[in-house]
Structure 1
Amino acid sequence: MDEQVQRGKQWLETLLKLMNIPADVQLGRVEENDKQGVSCWLTIDEANLDQSQINALIGKKGDTIDAVQYLANSLLNIGLGDSAPCFFTVELNGYRIRRQAELVAIAQSAAARVRDTGIPEEIKYLSSVERRQIHSILESSDDLTTESQGNEPERRLIVKLR
């Protein structure tokens, strides 16, 4: 797994270099899960970046950093054979941590409204990764269920009573 993690770091550093972005990449949390593979955070060091470069790398509503993360996960897991995949989270300037807190708040708020009214709640404008995160946040609820409906880019998450 160390080899895959290092490959991810090198891939992201190369991509940044090709984008003329003067940033190093640090390895963050690396968690091994025997069944699902390895989860690894690749953190872009913003020390040499100005705010416009940070904003460009994150993109509007995180679309650029999400695209970079998607590419990393798609390209770096091709042709692994029997090897377990390595799932990369690309972080910059605390964006992922802040967004995770926002998603928890969105999920809790939707859950409270559904419990109060009994009416299903629709959450729009989430990426596929963010929809999966909200599914995970609410999956332990005994009284609620979640599902995704529609087609991209209009796909949305529905929270409803079981």
Structure 2
Amino acid sequence: MGSALEDTDEDVEDEDEDTTEAADAKAVTGGKPSGGASDAELFRQSEIAADYVEGLLDILDYDGDIDELVSGGRPMVEVVGGRLQALVGQRGATLEALQELARLAVFRQTGSPSRLLLDVGGYRANRRKELAAVARNAVEKVKEYGEAVRLEPMSAFERKCVHDVVNALAGVESESEGVEPNRRIVVRPVG
């Protein structure tokens, strides 16, 4: 198998802590983490998604190694290889769309929604590192000037990464504001 992405996306229904996918999963599963699915069920979801992605790669005539795994109570599919940037797209937009298609493929076969996470060429792992730096920079500005900092609009995955970093630090808090596709994070001093 491949390396597991470190993703600690917890189901958060609070509107300030955005995770559209987590809220959707809670609505369908009654709030149970991972819908109460066993590791075997989650791995089956990753296998279904991997088969779907492999079919797409064949149609596009792209080469890539596909790993299916379960990490953090979540099914995952990782695709690695050369010439895959087109599958990521600008700021991960194509990757997000492919992830939704893979989730639909899982839903079609299982009848249950999936919190599947798809990564292509290590994009999500690299983006998570970049976003951690963005979050730390915003926190430094908030602490230095005592004023809220509004970040650029981000996807649900990106916002979750920033929330995780900010919430781990003392003296600051974060919340999401706005409406997709312009939903953004505001980092502010506590109190």
Partner of 1:95: 123
d(CA) in 2 for partners of 1:73, 1:161:
37
Asked if the contact 1:5/1:86 (under 8 Å) is kept, the reply is no
Q: CA RMSD in A?
A: 2.1
What is the TM-score when the length of structure 1 is the normalising length?
A: 0.78
Partner of 1:42: 77
Instruction: State whether structure 2 residue 93 is matched by structure 1 residue 63.
Output: yes
d(CA) in 1 for partners of 2:163, 2:157:
10
Name the aligned partner's letter for residue 31 of structure 1. Answer: S
Asked if the contact 2:64/2:80 (under 8 Å) is kept, the reply is yes
Larger relative contact order (Cα-Cα within 8 Å, sequence gap ≥ 6): 2
> Which of 22, 27, 31 is residue 71 of structure 2 equivalent to?
31
d(CA) in 2 for partners of 1:102, 1:55:
17
Q: Percent identity?
A: 27
Instruction: State whether structure 2 residue 102 is matched by structure 1 residue 72.
Output: yes
Asked if the contact 1:149/1:157 (under 8 Å) is kept, the reply is yes
Asked if the contact 1:110/1:159 (under 8 Å) is kept, the reply is yes
Partner of 1:35: none
Unaligned runs of 5+ in 1: 33-37
Unaligned runs of 5+ in 2: 1-40
Counting matched residue pairs gives 147
Runs of 4+ in 1 over 3 A off after TM superposition: none
d(CA) in 2 for partners of 1:137, 1:77:
31
Asked if the contact 2:154/2:182 (under 8 Å) is kept, the reply is no
